[in-house]
């Protein structure tokens, strides 16, 4: 039994004294103890070494005592497993030297054996569960098929992902075949994560907001729905689409346990658009963590009041930034733990 099950209770929609809190990308780059590890090991070594991944996962828990941990990993381990070469270049980010842009390119893309290609993730989960000792739940995650496709086709990060969209609009057959392979791999991967011990999973559709509402349904949401359908009876699923407020009504009917919301959608609108009956997660602007701690605490209190304490998980509207002072992150967590409704 998980000792602090506040996060899991919020996912079920149960009444709580205060909402649970964790932060996207909480395991990582703003923590001095993480930077010590970063200086010694490159990015994918950190992901692929279970001892390092589990240590990085629990670092913020030791420091702040969040209500849930999220496994340190990366969404791009999926294309790596699918036989697509992925590097992480300092100062540039993801770099895929052989992007997938034609039917011929697709021939080498596989739906892999998860144990052969991603077994290190399952080992990291088991090690992390030992370290957490059932104190709090552990979250596993994956990128949405559309977000993974963006990198696989573009070959790197982008402000527009124009080449990814061009492929979808000019060679839709190729795009859909790639999306289905990513979806099939992601389902197998997340099912193994559940078997290894994660207590919930989150799908990150970081680039969903790049698409129009119509294109979103065709090239992103239908594949996220397949993943939710495959996982929802085994574990709670959180669906997070950045910039996808227009799809909250569809998402709310998906069978997901919770929906992530970014900072461009107010709590009132998020409740309205999602029908008011599903757990919501978010939506503090990560850059607001650069505000003075007293301001952060005041804004967090107001955010909880606006969302309501039940059916709500306090989080950021996207990942925490590397330049956030540790005391500001502490103020964010403390504000939730100190929360009392007026």
92 occurs within a structural domain: yes
Q: Which residues are annotated as a binding site?
A: 25-29, 44, 74, 151, 206, 318
Rounded-to-integer distance, Cα 21 and Cα 338, Å: 12
What are the helix (H) ranges across the chain? 6-11, 32-40, 43-48, 50-64, 77-81, 103-106, 114-132, 145-154, 162-170, 172-196, 213-216, 222-231, 248-252, 267-273, 293-307, 326-337
23 occurs within a structural domain: yes
Please write the tens of the pLDDT for every residue from 215-255. Answer: 999 999 999 999 999 999 999 999 999 999 999 999 999 99
Give the helix/strand (H/E) hosting 141: strand 138-143
pLDDT, averaged per 10 consecutive residues of the chain (342 residues), comes to 97 97 97 97 97 98 98 98 96 96 98 98 98 98 98 97 98 98 98 98 98 98 98 98 98 98 98 98 98 98 98 98 98 97 76
269 occurs within a structural domain: yes
Q: Which residues are annotated as a binding site for substrate?
A: 25-29, 44, 74, 151, 206, 318
**Domain count of the chain?**
1
342 occurs within a structural domain: no
1 occurs within a structural domain: no
Q: What's the confidence (pLDDT) of residue 293?
A: 98
Please write the tens of the pLDDT for every residue from 35-77. Answer: 999 999 999 999 999 999 999 999 999 999 999 999 999 999 9
CA-nearest of 207, 208, 198 to 141 is 198
311 occurs within a structural domain: yes
94 occurs within a structural domain: yes
304 occurs within a structural domain: yes
CATH number of the domain that residue 329 is part of:
3.20.20.210
Range of the domain at 274: 6-337
């Amino acid at each position: 039994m998980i000792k602090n099950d506040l996060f899991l209770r919020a996912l079920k929609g149960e009444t709580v004294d205060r909402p649970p809190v964790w932060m996207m990308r909480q395991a990582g780059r703003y923590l001095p103890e993480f930077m010590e590890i970063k200086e010694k090991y490159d990015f994918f070594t950190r992901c692929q070494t279970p001892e390092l991944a589990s240590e990085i996962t629990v670092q913020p828990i030791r420091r702040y005592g969040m209500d849930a941990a999220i496994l340190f990993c990366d969404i791009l381990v999926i294309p790596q497993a699918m036989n697509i070469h992925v590097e992480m270049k300092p100062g540039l980010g993801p770099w895929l030297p052989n992007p997938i842009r034609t039917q011929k390119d697709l021939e080498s893309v596989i739906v892999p054996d998860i144990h052969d290609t991603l077994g290190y993730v399952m080992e990291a989960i088991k090690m992390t569960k030992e370290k957490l000792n059932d104190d709090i739940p552990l979250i596993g995650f994956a990128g949405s098929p559309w977000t993974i496709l963006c990198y696989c086709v573009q070959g790197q990060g982008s402000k527009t992902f124009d080449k990814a969209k061009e492929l979808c609009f000019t060679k839709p057959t190729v795009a859909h075949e790639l999306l289905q392979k990513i979806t099939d791999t992601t389902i197998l991967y997340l099912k193994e994560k559940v078997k290894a011990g994660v207590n919930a999973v989150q799908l990150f559709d970081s680039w969903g907001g790049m698409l129009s509402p119509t294109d979103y349904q065709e090239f992103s949401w239908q594949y996220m729905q397949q993943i939710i359908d495959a996982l929802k009876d085994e574990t709670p699923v959180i669906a997070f689409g950045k910039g996808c407020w227009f799809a909250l009504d569809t998402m709310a009917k998906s069978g997901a346990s919770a929906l992530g919301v970014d900072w461009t959608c107010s709590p009132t609108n998020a409740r309205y658009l999602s029908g008011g009956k599903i757990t919501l997660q978010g939506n503090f602007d990560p850059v607001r963590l650069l505000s003075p701690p007293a301001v952060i605490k005041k804004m967090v209190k107001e955010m909880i009041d606006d969302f309501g304490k039940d059916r709500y998980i306090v989080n950021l509207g996207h990942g925490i930034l590397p330049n956030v002072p540790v005391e500001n992150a502490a103020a964010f967590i403390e504000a939730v733990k100190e929360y009392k409704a007026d």
